[in-house]
Amino acid sequence: MNRGDAADLLVSVALGAWAAFGVLALVVVGRAGSPLWLDDGFLAWSVGHRPEVAVAVARGVTASGTGVVPYVLVVLAGVVAGRTLWHRLLAAVLCLACLGLGQVLRYALMEFIHRVRPPQSDWTAHASGWAFPSGHTTTAALTAGLLIAALTLRRTHGGTALRIAVGCWGLFVGVTRAYLGVHWFTDVLGGWLFALGWLGACLCAAAYLLPAPFLTHTTAHAPQPTENQENHAPQDPGGGGRSRPA
């Protein structure tokens, strides 16, 4: 896929995600933050299915979606994406900017929407601030998306398995937020849609603005003979100019 095709695809993904996020946000605001669709059902199910081991695993996974871990991972994404030292530094800065600016925009939306979290009696983890869109979900999804983009760009060995693992981690962080009772399920859905829209916009900008050598995967090939070399190459070395017998 060339640069133009990739940019067009990313524009479509970003616009679709933003449209879906906008509809969901309008519904949340219109309902004054009250639970929607699957929210009550998912919360009731999670409260009734919380063995100690599952809660401990969920807390561990959810903790990886905030703090320093995502920022370390996006720097790693930059290192993977670049082929030279300069490219790696540039990619790391751009990945950090994508994540950091996404966080600023998310905070602004949370303050604007003012959705209250589920009842605190159902929480099994610490939480603070407003609910929509889920912060851990957004952060983990953006981080996972940047890592997947870097692995795809550089076609690393075992990249498919790594991309699947990273994608599952990004999704699972969001699921744990609803499972632990600190977010409604639609908060998590909003975080996924917001992350997809913002990531699509950032990657689209990168596809248009970054120099071509940064975005192409090159491998070493044996030098090909030039047209001049082909014209002057001996046709029958050692044959004395005679045609070989059939």
CB of 127 within 8 A of CB of 117?
A: yes
DSSP one-letter code for 123: -
Phi, psi of 106 (to 5 degrees): -65, -45
CA 155, distance to chain mean position in Å, is 16
Q: What would the 3-class secondary structure string for 178-208 be?
A: HHCCCCCHHHHHHHHHHHHHHHHHHHHHHHH
DSSP one-letter code for 51: -
Cα-Cα-Cα-Cα dihedral sign, residues 72, 132, 124, 174: negative
CA distance 65 to 189: 15
217 an active-site residue?
A: no
87 an active-site residue?
A: no
Q: Which of 87, 157, 183, 217 is catalytic?
A: 183
Q: Which of 136, 157, 217, 232 is catalytic?
A: 136
Radius of gyration, alpha carbons of the chain: 25
CA distance 84 to 62: 34
CA distance 178 to 134: 9
137: nearest Cα among 59, 203, 94, 194: 194
Residue 113: CB atoms within 10 A of its CB come to 18
The catalytic site residues sit at 136, 183
